[in-house]
Amino acid sequence: MDVFLQQVVNGLTLGSIYALIALGYTMVYGIIQLINFAHGEIFAAGGYLGVITLSFLQARGVLEHHPILGLALAFFLAMVYCAFMAVALERIAYRPLRGASRLSLLLSALGMSIFFSNGMMLCQGVYDKAYPHFFVSGGFHLGGVVITQMQIFIMVGSILLMVALNLFVNRTRLGKAMRSTAQDRVMSAILGINADKTIVTTFVIGASLAAAAGVMVGLYYGSVRFDMGFIPGIKAFAAAVLGGIGNLTGAMLGGMIIGMVEIFAAGYLASEYKDVFAFVILILVLYFRPTGIMGMQVDDTRV
């Protein structure tokens, strides 16, 4: 039983990260019907900004005396940097093709994914970059189950970000503009909603969440590398499809399910094939329920 509960904790931790990344996929798809394949590289860039910031602060002794402040600064800078990346991505690669075919947009997204990945490889090298060893030790024992401080931090941090996103989308004027643009862009424009501003805001929010996830992954696993965005990006996309792409609640739920399935598969079946199960789920969902778990039921949270 302890092993089962330990896997639940591990699955929720991993699922929280996938949910944060999946939100970016589902928001962008919901508003411009684009699968933003460069989103995984934005997630990786967030991880790099985190390690660069924390290493800089550690070298100057700031992290030793003010670890919370240093961690907050790392998250802030990573989210701001990735937000600028997303704005540039939308303005350069997607906006000029807004009236083009889906295939053109898809090819542009793939091209930007390769561009970002190779750019990170050239700038940061091909080897792993280790995170400073702060916040990674210590935890709590509940019977035979160990919950580390970092797992608590990731789960609580992810939940707070997801709650904040839901409040933003449902309670603010800009969030309502995002929802209306997602439902009918032409009618929203007639009613005076600035579609360009709304779309850019969607990219900024999605990239910020991915950046936070990147820093969390770096802190949790201890390092980042230039190609770390590919596999988690595909799994987060599978989570978005599983939950019902375009649906915020569905993306969160899908991320949790994918994380749990991966951890349980690695723990009880074969860890070598843990990455396969996300793709199996993606294929099964596309075949049996293309709308996903919540794709048709919750229209008021669709973005």
Distance between CA 187 and CA 164 in Å, rounded?
27
For residue 296, what pLDDT is reported? 52
For residue 303, what pLDDT is reported? 43
For residue 135, what pLDDT is reported? 64
Distance between CA 283 and CA 289 in Å, rounded?
10
Distance between CA 237 and CA 243 in Å, rounded?
10
Residues in the chain with pLDDT < 50?
297-303
For residue 136, what pLDDT is reported? 59
Q: Which of 229, 230, 242, 225 is nearest to 277 (CA)?
A: 242
Longest dimension (CA), the chain: 60
Region of 184 (left: φ > 0; alpha: ψ -120 to 50; beta: rest) is beta
Q: Is 130 helix (H, G, I), strand (E, B) or coil?
A: strand
With beta carbons less than 8 A apart as the criterion, state whether 93 and 199 touch: no
For residue 118, what pLDDT is reported? 92
For residue 185, what pLDDT is reported? 79
Region of 61 (left: φ > 0; alpha: ψ -120 to 50; beta: rest) is left
List 139's β-bridge partners, or say none: 148
For residue 298, what pLDDT is reported? 44
